[in-house]
Homo-oligomer: A and B are copies of this chain.
């Protein structure tokens, strides 16, 4: 019911590539971070969250990434295993690099911020040699998250993964996930995001993120159709552009435009919305939902996660999403 072709004979449904980190969420809610006293730790990082999301939704999920050679690396690997995620693509880094940390601050549902510990972060140490062609060709799809493009050697590892994916008919999902603090300049960002997007089948991002990618080559473009068309000229089949509260739109290389459903909920925080959306959308597309239905699944999953206190730990099951859709009011 959608026109993405997934190879049916693969062992895995999805391999997420890139960042594995730790979120440290204050236990005292709606309080400035300088007054927070105790923190609970969760596995975090956009592709980690998406991998947990798809695994909870019963997709056979694997991961390619580096973890630190310490207790936090052990914790993350154990957590993935407990969530039925294949960890054969996980490499234990020996360089002394540390797990990236995100201390979250939720002063109110609309005032969320982060202190990020990303200096010499272990996830960016993944090397081209860590990428196994054999492993990638076992999967129907891979998920690339933009943060992995921010620095070498992770950047080159991503391009190697993209090369193997294209060579073996593995569908590429590209979640832009742009975090300005990990990049040296906007020009650098635009260059590498473009090179990766050219090799992707499904590209997901906000309007602002697409503007960032295109600011060098098409500084004047702010039009969704022009944006989508640009990527269709390379390899894209679906381009999903999010417009915040106005909702999301999917554009296809067959000329369709699909508006996504929005579920009105009262959030506790905004963190995790994008990752839960992406995970459930990918689930839908791999299960041959039509695009509108896959987007509804994504929106429902996001609505569930933002009403809870965590990201990865709150990823819903298929039953939970279906229940939510069955009972929720749509906008």
**A residues whose Cβ falls under 8 Å from a Cβ of B:** 24, 27, 32-41, 70-72, 74-75, 78, 98, 101, 103, 105, 115, 117, 119-120, 127-129, 152-153, 156, 159-160, 163-164, 167, 184-185, 187-188, 190-192, 194-195, 216-217
A167 / chain B contacts, CB cutoff of 8 Å: 217
Bound complex: CA of A41 vs CA of B72, how far in Å?
17
Query: Given A38-B40, A216-B160, A217-B163, are A71 and B191 neighbors across the interface (CB < 8 Å)?
Result: no
**Contact assessment for B37 and A41 in the assembled complex, using a CB-CB cutoff below 8 Å:** yes
Number of copies of this chain that the complex holds: 4
Bound complex: CA of A199 vs CA of B266, how far in Å?
48
Which one of B34, B41, B78, B194 contacts A71 once the chains associate, using CB atoms below 8 Å?
B34
Would you give the shortest CB distance from A92 to chain B, in whole angstroms? 13
Bound complex: CA of A283 vs CA of B44, how far in Å?
45
16 contacts between A and B (CB under 8 A): A24-B24, A27-B38, A33-B70, A33-B75, A34-B72, A38-B38, A72-B103, A128-B185, A152-B184, A152-B188, A153-B185, A153-B188, A156-B192, A163-B194, A164-B217, A167-B217
Bound complex: CA of A122 vs CA of B3, how far in Å?
49
Instruction: Please provide the 3 A-B residue pairs with the shortest distance between their CB atoms, ordered closest to farther.
Output: A128-B187, A33-B71, A119-B119
**Contact assessment for A187 and B129 in the assembled complex, using a CB-CB cutoff below 8 Å:** yes
Query: Given A41-B38, A153-B187, are A163 and B216 neighbors across the interface (CB < 8 Å)?
Result: yes
New A-B contacts (10) at CB < 8 Å, excluding given A72-B103, A119-B119: A24-B24, A27-B38, A34-B72, A36-B41, A38-B38, A38-B39, A39-B40, A128-B191, A160-B216, A167-B217
